[in-house]
Structure 1
């Protein structure tokens, strides 16, 4: 009996020791986890990163002329004296100030910002974080991308700058910092993640391809930096989605690869020369794939090929499905246009195309949009409804220059400008109108217009304005 009691006591003691040991080890592990968490929190501080990157983000102050709006009757000699006697006419433009942000991208003093920050500016002043101020000159402005390049001269030869990241390597979920001057309160840093890539339908610029972030971006942040945790420029903060004007966690930045293409243009020739593929298409979806009898559900179905384009010369055909551009997937026309825009003229690229169920690799050399025919800008005079207008032959090159659909308007006659006191203006014609017919005669070139105008006294003009067709009859 005594032996059994001793045995039970021994077992119970052993269990107590094991339980205490386990509790002790658990407490040690818990302590270790707490230490690891504190170390991790310390590593999450971005202070060193901000210290290195923030000096390259600058404040931009601009002065602009705001024209005073006077009644059009001031231009009429009969009413002019009456109005000037009883309603004083406002003379001279009003000077307005605005602000934004920018990023120094090299030691020579080149600064990238948004075009809308410096548009129509008479004077541009750049302020650095160390309180130095410089007058900036405009090197290049590109409304199509809403980017502009400025330059400042620094005698000290010391300017902080940020290197550009490869925006194609960014991933959804990557941590990013937004640096700028919101509301003019001074340089501010906010953090967030990349919420989405290749965002379209933002409504800014011609190339709808944006980085979306939840890092707070507010008015004044435009032109500021979106940087990676490596301290490189991921993009230029450009816009926010907001009903109040403040940040609600949906901001958009222009990718650094697009920024790089504009910087290259500014620092080389000072003009932008973009390649042009000369194709149109629609994105694949399940319904379209089923109709075509293919398994692929991602790609761009080609439905138009311009005959003088590099695509036509390389053998791209209507009905081909473009799957990738230099091994980067193509999902719609915006993603293709973006890839073309960041490429260089003369560069050789590789398209992967699905043709009759088989994948085909096509080598293609990037070229500029052709000017065929030559624009032949002509001023119309005489007793006709186009008198006072300047017209030109449309071509892909001119359509690109005017930021209109370069496939839809690859040919025809467009009104370039109109004198406000001319017969054409009073006939309700406007710059940008594309004339298609005069008196039921098809108009293809400027010479066609001249011929028709010489032979008639009564006119019926059919023209396109945007997506609508109009008919103008004058007798």
Structure 2
């Protein structure tokens, strides 16, 4: 068969040459033209030119750094703290019996450092709350990349989101700024730069990519969603900038996942869309309000997915809907599974709260839900939670286990914020550091169910039960699905 093909090819070639010869083209010329058509010569290589700029030659990030770095600052925090010469000197029990035998407290300076980003020409700086947080009044100093230094004061700070807003104190000076980028435009694989002051060595730039978006499993708050990056982030980078290739701010670096304390290629940043809300709130002199849903959400688990008829283990199932509230008004029902908010996919309950928060109070959000296996869409009005009255909240102080705790009646908005069920009892809203309640381990969200065997229905009941000092305090505390019985000497 192969011989026949070769023979036919030869005949075809001879025939073509004959035709070319008849048309006036010589045999040798025709043969050369035929071979050129059959085996065309490669085009000559393009002439290599010298790159027109250093940036193109080296694929340099220098232009981006020149644009962004001046707005990234070092944040130095100093505070005076009391130190005792003996580990027992600060214990109330030992001081009661031994007085000052263990020595007088002495003051020492406690220092910490981090990074920040200037986001307005008048000197508004964004950093992390954990950079400036601590006991005692702090002195905050801001150092710019051009070596100028200024004092700064705290405008607002939020422990849940780890966002703090500072204001540089200056005489009407104008500062370099970073412009916000819409963090929702980021995609996994996008190039980013992390700029900050790791280990106090000075301003440092590292590069990487966006490794993942909407990471919500690592935060402490139900509104925390993070951008993950492999750009090197180390201690001291906290509060620094994560910028895209246009030199705009897409996130505030906040933490790393590390077993050694150094960068292992897993860093996290707060998305710029959430940061921008707090900057706007600080500029307008108001507190950022989180929309009140009026429903309790739980992240869909693998066991839930089968029972709910879902083809994926993703979304937030509505576990409870308050009788009154935005969720009830919108028609949300227990058992509904929220899978989208304004077109954005949500994989868990935290992602839903993040989307509602960044959408903002006073607006509406479209929820894509799965109800009994069928898709639906509902419109939710985003409202602020009803404010508790003066009679609903108390700051407790005295010779009892709850000294230093701020407690509240369980109102719908409070229950929604703390992720607890509505009902009778008093919930711990916050705990003052160093207080008796803090030392005993009380946490926000703990529900005080009983004191001395008597049920607690309101803050008024609780105050009355704490009035009489006891030899032994008996406190029943409900935390999640468990009840703890605490015994504390009076």
Pairwise same-fold verdict (TM > 0.5): yes
2:112 counterpart (98, 118, 126): 98
> Which residue pairs with 1:333 in the alignment?
349
> Which residue pairs with 2:196 in the alignment?
180
TM-fit CA distance, 1:253 = 0.6
> Which residue pairs with 1:435 in the alignment?
448
> Which residue pairs with 2:275 in the alignment?
259
Task: Give CA deviations for 1:360-418 in whole Å, capped at 9, x if unaligned.
Answer: 33222212233467524276889x98899875423355567xxx733336752146779
Shift of the 59–389 alpha-carbon distance from structure 1 to 2, 3 Å rule, reads: closer
Shift of the 315–407 alpha-carbon distance from structure 1 to 2, 3 Å rule, reads: farther
Shift of the 438–127 alpha-carbon distance from structure 1 to 2, 3 Å rule, reads: closer
- 1:21-170 matches, within 5 Å, as 22-23=41-42, 25=43, 28-29=45-46, 41-42=56-57, 44-69=59-84, 70-71=87-88, 72=91, 76-81=95-100, 83-84=101-102, 88-92=103-107, 94-120=108-134, 122-155=138-171, 157-170=173-186
Shift of the 192–436 alpha-carbon distance from structure 1 to 2, 3 Å rule, reads: same
TM-fit CA distance, 1:473 = 6.9
Contact 1:149 1:266 (8 Å CA) reproduced = yes
- Mean Cα deviation higher: 151-160 or 268-277: 151-160
TM-fit CA distance, 1:263 = 0.6
Shift of the 464–185 alpha-carbon distance from structure 1 to 2, 3 Å rule, reads: same
Structure 2 runs not aligned, ≥5 long: 1-25
Q: Distance in 2 between matches of 1:375 and 1:90?
A: 39
Task: Give CA deviations for 1:255-292 in whole Å, capped at 9, x if unaligned.
Answer: 00011111111111242322121322334466544423
Secondary structure of the 1:226 match is strand
- Mean Cα deviation higher: 62-71 or 446-455: 446-455
Shift of the 222–281 alpha-carbon distance from structure 1 to 2, 3 Å rule, reads: same
- Mean Cα deviation higher: 322-331 or 350-359: 350-359
Contact 2:198 2:234 (8 Å CA) reproduced = yes
Shift of the 396–265 alpha-carbon distance from structure 1 to 2, 3 Å rule, reads: farther
- 1:219-230 matches, within 5 Å, as 219-230=235-246
Shift of the 286–38 alpha-carbon distance from structure 1 to 2, 3 Å rule, reads: farther
> Which residue pairs with 1:302 in the alignment?
318
1:214 counterpart (223, 230, 236): 230
Q: Distance in 1 between matches of 2:306 and 2:277?
A: 38
Structure 1 runs not aligned, ≥5 long: 1-6
The answer to whether the aligner puts 1:319 opposite 2:338 as a matched pair is: no
TM-fit CA distance, 1:108 = 1.8
TM (norm. structure 1) is 0.81
1:242 counterpart (249, 258, 261): 258
Q: Distance in 1 between matches of 2:129 and 2:303?
A: 40
The answer to whether the aligner puts 1:271 opposite 2:271 as a matched pair is: no
Contact 2:403 2:435 (8 Å CA) reproduced = no
> Which residue pairs with 1:405 in the alignment?
418
Secondary structure of the 1:22 match is coil
Shift of the 471–205 alpha-carbon distance from structure 1 to 2, 3 Å rule, reads: closer
TM-fit CA distance, 1:248 = 1.6
Q: Distance in 1 between matches of 2:53 and 2:303?
A: 52
Q: Distance in 2 between matches of 1:102 and 1:352?
A: 37
1:353 counterpart (351, 362, 369): 369
Secondary structure of the 1:201 match is coil
Task: Give CA deviations for 1:403-447 in whole Å, capped at 9, x if unaligned.
Answer: x7333367521467799999x999x69575532135665432234
> Which residue pairs with 2:6 in the alignment?
none
TM-fit CA distance, 1:358 = 3.8
TM-fit CA distance, 1:138 = 1.0
Contact 2:309 2:373 (8 Å CA) reproduced = no
Aligned-residue Cα RMSD (Å) equals 4.1
Q: Which has the larger radius of gyration?
A: 2
Secondary structure of the 2:449 match is strand
> Which residue pairs with 1:375 in the alignment?
392
Contact 2:222 2:353 (8 Å CA) reproduced = no
> Which residue pairs with 1:195 in the alignment?
211
Shift of the 414–321 alpha-carbon distance from structure 1 to 2, 3 Å rule, reads: closer
Q: Distance in 2 between matches of 1:17 and 1:122?
A: 83
Q: Distance in 2 between matches of 1:118 and 1:466?
A: 31
TM (norm. structure 2) is 0.79
Contact 2:340 2:346 (8 Å CA) reproduced = yes
Contact 1:140 1:270 (8 Å CA) reproduced = no
Q: Distance in 2 between matches of 1:289 and 1:421?
A: 43
